[in-house]
Amino acid sequence: MTIIYTFSEHHIKQLCLLYNEMGWGQNRSLEDVSNCVHGSQVCIGIVDKDNNLIGFTRIISDYIYKAFIFDVMVRAEHRGKGLGQKLINIVKNHEKLKKVKHFELYCLPEMEVFYSSFGFSTDVDGIKLMRCTNA
């Protein structure tokens, strides 16, 4: 397995398929996924020996106060092998993110135990997530 930080058109197509495998990422177009990758400050992928994307995450950050981790994903057939852990560890030790004070993320309730093992907590001093949908 190899870690990548730049994504070819081949990888972006595979990423689009990976998003569509996720219950929360269905119906994302190839164009939107490509724009998403190019609009994020840090993207990290894991590819197998055949250069196929099997894991991915992306980060948006100011590189000092906050880094927001999005879309930690591993292909279903590769789960349970520590790749999600590998992605989070790479993020937390990434050269550009070393000075970040707070890493934050969204997660489904069933993933709280996984993320808490890396020091993430739902105790955020009473801060609430708010959302406005752009019509």
Q: How many domains does the chain divide into?
A: 1
Residue 131: inside a domain, yes or no? no
Q: At a CB cut-off of 8 Å and minimum separation 6, what does 9 contact?
A: none
What is the pTM (predicted TM-score) of this model? 0.90
Q: With respect to residue 129, please indicate whether it lies within any of the assigned structural domains.
A: no
C-alpha 37/C-alpha 6 separation (Å) is: 9
Print the domain residue range for 14. 2-116
Asked if the model's pLDDT at residue 5 lies above 90, the reply is yes
Q: Is residue 22 part of a domain?
A: yes
The tens digit of pLDDT for each residue in 49-70 reads 999 999 999 999 999 999 999 9
Distance between CA atoms of 14 and 8, rounded to whole angstroms?
A: 10
Q: Decide: 84 and 68 in contact? Cβ < 8 Å.
A: no
| Any domain includes 68 | yes
**Residue 134 domain flag:** no
Q: Where residue 127 falls among pLDDT bands split at 50, 70, 90? A: confident
Q: pLDDT digit string (tens) for 8-28? A: 999 999 999 999 998 888 889
Average per-residue pLDDT in the chain? 93
- Give residues with Cβ within 8 angstroms of 96, minimum separation 6: 41, 42, 61, 63
Asked if 9 and 30 touch (Cβ cutoff 8 Å), the reply is: no
CATH of the domain at 74: 3.40.630.30
Query: What pLDDT score was predicted for residue 3?
Result: 97
Instruction: Assess if residue 58 is contained within a domain.
Output: yes
- In a domain, residue 132? The reply is no
Q: What is the pLDDT of residues 70-106, one digit of tens each?
A: 999 999 999 999 999 999 999 999 999 999 999 999 8
Query: Does the residue 135 lie in any domain?
Result: no
